[in-house]
Amino acid sequence: MTGTMTPEDAFVGAVITCLACTFDSYASKMRLKISGYESEGTGIVDRKDGVQMFTELTVRVKITIPPETLKDSVQKAIDSARQNCLVAASLKTPVKYEIEIVGQ
């Protein structure tokens, strides 16, 4: 069904949204200026021990920063978000992150 969110979409979306909100919290506390944040995610579904389940999630994030924002500080904020994302931490499914930080 085109345009219909499935439970699988919501599952992956929960991880993406949690990471975005957690990053926003860290970036705000660190007073980082962020010009843009884009993310998407995919999940691999397979049979494991006779049960169909997500066996891997991949979250891709692109963060755009202005010249005055230090890339290392943004990396620290996204690393903290990855470590403290409640949804991802609650899963037994491994989550891979592909993070890109680019200047304007």
Domain spanning 7-103: CATH 3.90.1150.10: no
Residue 3 confidence (pLDDT): 77
Residue 2 has pLDDT above 90, yes or no: no
- 35: pLDDT strictly greater than 90: yes
Which residues lie closer than 8 Å to 45 by C-beta, 6 or more apart?
Answer: 8, 52, 53, 54, 55
Domain range summary for the chain, segments of one domain joined by +: 7-103
Confidence of residue 5 (pLDDT cuts 50, 70, 90): confident
- Asked if the model's pLDDT at residue 98 lies above 80, the reply is yes
Nearest-angstrom CA–CA distance, 19 and 56 = 16
pLDDT of residue 96: 97
Q: Contact, 59 vs 11, CB < 8 A? A: no
Question: What is the Cα–Cα distance from 39 to 95, expressed in whole angstroms?
Answer: 14
